[in-house]
Amino acid sequence: MKTTKTDPTRIYGAHSLLIGILLVILGTAGLAAPGLMSIATAVYVAWMLIIGGAFWSYHTWKSNRGHLMDWLKPFVLILTGGLMLFYPLSGVAAVGLLLAVYLLLDAFGSFVLARELHPKKGWAWMTFNGIISLLLAMLFLIGWPATSLFLVGIYVAISLIFDGWALIVIGWAARRASKDKK
């Protein structure tokens, strides 16, 4: 079976460049106001939990509405999302703790992969990635929950900036490639 390679200029067009610029602007605004970005992130996560709980409730209603235990998951999702909406600072602290756990798991995963790669090329970069993830996790955990108010916003803002720049570079390359074809 022959595989065909998709032309990147058809996938990434001018919209990639525009979205990349918008993400960089949004991320920069988040760096300027990390507390606001943190609260916006917690509110976004809260709404995703509520919407997910509503979908799960519908599923339970349609599939097995008589079973009390089947209602537990949608109840917890909606309750958690609602609490995060009513207490956004606690929501930010929860998101900060989740990011710290994620970064710890990422660090340990990076160290394991670096050990498996050693002495092949790239093992040092994977070790460096693990050290950075571990340091970031420690930043979240030291002073938690107070540090979450600005660290969550900074983390999300930096992520948006890097995503934006990646799309800008991809969109710019696709734009140049389409000009070269003409």
Structure tokens belonging to residue 78: 């909606």
CA distance 115 to 143: 31
CA distances from 52 to 48, 49, 57 (A): 6, 5, 8
pLDDT given for residue 4 in this prediction: 58
The 10 Å Cβ neighbour count of residue 6 is 8
What are 112-126's pLDDT values in tens digits?
Answer: 998 998 888 888 989
Global pTM reads: 0.75
Contact by Cβ (8 Å): 89, 152: no
* CA atoms of 32 and 65, how far apart (whole Å): 48
Structure confidence at residue 182 (pLDDT): 66
For the chain, where are the alpha helices, taking DSSP H only? 8-11, 14-32, 34-64, 72-86, 88-117, 123-141, 148-181
Confidence category of residue 179, pLDDT binned at 50, 70, 90: confident
Q: For 29-74, write each residue's pLDDT tens digit.
A: 999 999 999 999 999 999 999 999 999 999 999 998 888 888 999 9
